[in-house]
Amino acid sequence: MKASFLTEEHELFRKSLRKMLDKEAYPFYVEWEEKREIPRDFWLKMGENGFLLPWVDEAYGGLGLDFTYSKILAEELERVGQGLSSGICLHSDIVSPYISELGTEEQKQKWLPRCISGEIITAIAMTEPGAGSDLAGVKTNARREGDFYILNGEKTFITNGLNADLAIVVCKTDPNAQPAHRGISLLVVEKGMAGFSRGKKLDKIGMNCGDTGELIFEDVKVPVANLLGEEGKGFYYLMQNLQQERLIVAIQCQVAAEEMLRITIDYVKNRKAFGQSISKFQNTQFKIAEMATEIDIGRTYVDQLSERHVTHEDIVKEVSMAKWWISEMAKRVAAECLHLHGGYGYMNEYEIARRYRDIPVTSIFAGTTEIMKTIIAKKLDL
């Protein structure tokens, strides 16, 4: 199903991106999964070809395109694998917009061109060992001393954490603020700052090539010039930008479900049992029909929300609906598709096994399913 807003320019962008991924990503993805890393060279190739931050104004080296091109980027990277799409989409469409929207002219000139080229990889440091969904409860703190903030704390589960050249850190600049969220600010910490170190690379059950790590801040002197936006407004900025992050995750989950169904249909058509293709069995047909229906509904919804997001509508409720329902739907699809593969589905050499491992975390990161339902309930004035 083709979205109504897609133009010839969109198709040319997708075709060019696919051509690059066919050459530079698909042949190496299994190797990247085994080595548990994506080469830095790949980021630079993405930048050279104009696929990172396509929405940034031409004044900073971008293409000046709208979110629908970012949607294509998320879709095509997800078709390769979630370990690839998570880090690049986070850099391109979740972290970098904070710099574009909140940054001073000096900050934008300093960082955006190198984010576009792939020379700078970004991360956003929200989650802590003791604070996840409750962002107002972060313990990482920064006290101002003259022209610097002295930053202390720990962050965990940080996508791009180990390779990030620049991390936007959610921290308390006013620990006595009431309510607590009014004391939160965003500081940009750069690679090489004294006291900024990385912890261990986290050993995940899925998304193996995706970089997920710990960040440690010990009396890091962060220039006041690295404050993003205004002091004390960090929580507001996070809430404002989470709409796009959750829409990106919904799009990724949607594509993951589509890919799992595609490879499963191919498998059941070719797998024989009791003298015929297992696609001929009524149970198989019913399961495929059920999944195809849910996936089609999900596609219609994310396309509609993407179009509304481009026009800057407030669709926090709808994006929360999409994020929880499509991530949970993709988990159901993963389980059904693995089951239809039989014993082969449990073998690592089959793509469905990898996608089955990768998908569960999507109902946890960027806001859990329960947090999404809480947001929806508030928007319904409950």
Average pLDDT value for residue range 100-127: 97
Average pLDDT value for residue range 182-195: 97
Average pLDDT value for residue range 182-210: 95
Residue 3: per-residue pLDDT: 81
Residue 4: per-residue pLDDT: 83
Average pLDDT value for residue range 136-145: 92
- Give the span between the Cα atoms of 47 and 44, in whole angstroms: 5
Residue 136: per-residue pLDDT: 77
**Residue 1 pLDDT more than 70?**
no
**Residue 161 pLDDT more than 80?**
yes
Average pLDDT value for residue range 319-329: 98
- Give the span between the Cα atoms of 161 and 87, in whole angstroms: 10
Catalytic residue among 128, 231, 245, 318: 245
- Give the span between the Cα atoms of 168 and 140, in whole angstroms: 12
**245: annotated active-site residue:** yes
CA dihedral 331, 75, 368, 242 (to 10 degrees): -170
For residue 204, what is the DSSP state? -
Which of 23-37, 121-135, 163-177 comes out lowest in average pLDDT?
121-135
- Residue-wise pLDDT tens digits, 334-381: 999 999 999 999 999 999 999 999 999 999 999 999 999 999 999 999
Residue 134: per-residue pLDDT: 76
For residue 162, what is the DSSP state? T
SS (H, E, C) 229-270: CCCCCHHHHHHHHHHHHHHHHHHHHHHHHHHHHHHHHHHHHH
Average pLDDT value for residue range 303-317: 96
Predicted TM-score (pTM) of this structure: 0.94
- Residue-wise pLDDT tens digits, 4-29: 889 999 999 999 999 999 999 999 99
Q: Are 355 and 206 in contact, with CB atoms under 8 Å apart?
A: no
Write down all domains in the chain, each with its CATH number in brackets.
Answer: 8-120 (1.10.540.10), 124-232 (2.40.110.10), 236-379 (1.20.140.10)
List all residues 6 or more positions away from 376 whose beta carbon is below 8 Å from its beta carbon. 317, 320, 321
Residue 137: per-residue pLDDT: 83
* Six token digits for residue 114: 């190198």
Average pLDDT value for residue range 288-307: 98
Q: Which residues of 5-33 are buried (b: 16+ CB within 10 A; e: fewer)?
A: ebeeebeebbeebbebbeebbeebbeebb
